[in-house]
Amino acid sequence: MNAKLDRRKKYTRMVLKESLINLLKEKQISSITVKELCELADINRSTFYSHYADPYDLLTKIEEEILVDMYQTLSSYNFNKEDEALQMTEKILEYVADNRNVCQTLLSEHGDPQFQHKVMKVTYDFTMKNWMEIHNADEKVSEYLSLYVISGSLHVLKNWLDNGMDKTPREMAELIHSFTSYGLGAIK
């Protein structure tokens, strides 16, 4: 009996998440109602409220799952310091490609801007932090440099998604790494 109930809960949560992601492609979270979520997911309102307080709660849970999953996935890799930034960038891009629908929607103009900041923090932890330590960068300069690199990279990533991922994650990682390492000198 419990297995059946657990499957039903998982299914309900899955269809609600998919419904919210589909609605976020069209409009802001502030415009999404529980009623339309339930209609799209084909569930009743009491079922929705047994899982989530409101659409914002559902969005928060989706974001938390993505961030935890991203962190766990990236933590499973162990690269040497020299290759770390390029390889971690590639792994981040592979993760985004594997979760394209959700990531593209959450990073769009209808997504939560705080989610972008959280993704930037994960990216910093896995790419920039070690680089800054290796190069003994000044703390204030490190803050500005990492903000510049990561925010620019995030916009490149969003554009890559919007362009249908026209390059492989490896090719994009090499481009980002080249831009980060050589700036305008990377242009050939």
For 82-105, write each residue's pLDDT tens digit.
Answer: 567 778 888 889 999 999 999 999
Give the domain CATH number at 75: 1.10.357
pLDDT at 3: 67
Q: What domain range is 13 assigned to?
A: 2-52
- Of the candidates 11, 28, 52, which is a domain's last residue? 52
Residues 91 and 23 in one domain: no
The total of structural domains in the chain comes to 2
User: In this structure, what token pair is assigned to residue 39?
Assistant: 């209609």
Helices 139-162/169-182 angle, 10° precision: 150
Task: For residue range 3-45, list pLDDT tens digits in order.
Answer: 666 888 999 999 999 999 999 999 999 999 999 999 999 999 9
Residues 150 and 105 in one domain: yes
Q: How confident is the model at residue 179 (pLDDT cuts 50, 70, 90)?
A: confident
Whether residue 62 contacts residue 17, with contact meaning beta carbons closer than 8 Å, is answered with yes
Task: For residue range 99-128, list pLDDT tens digits in order.
Answer: 999 999 999 988 888 998 898 888 878 777
pLDDT at 133: 66
Residues 103 and 165 in one domain: yes
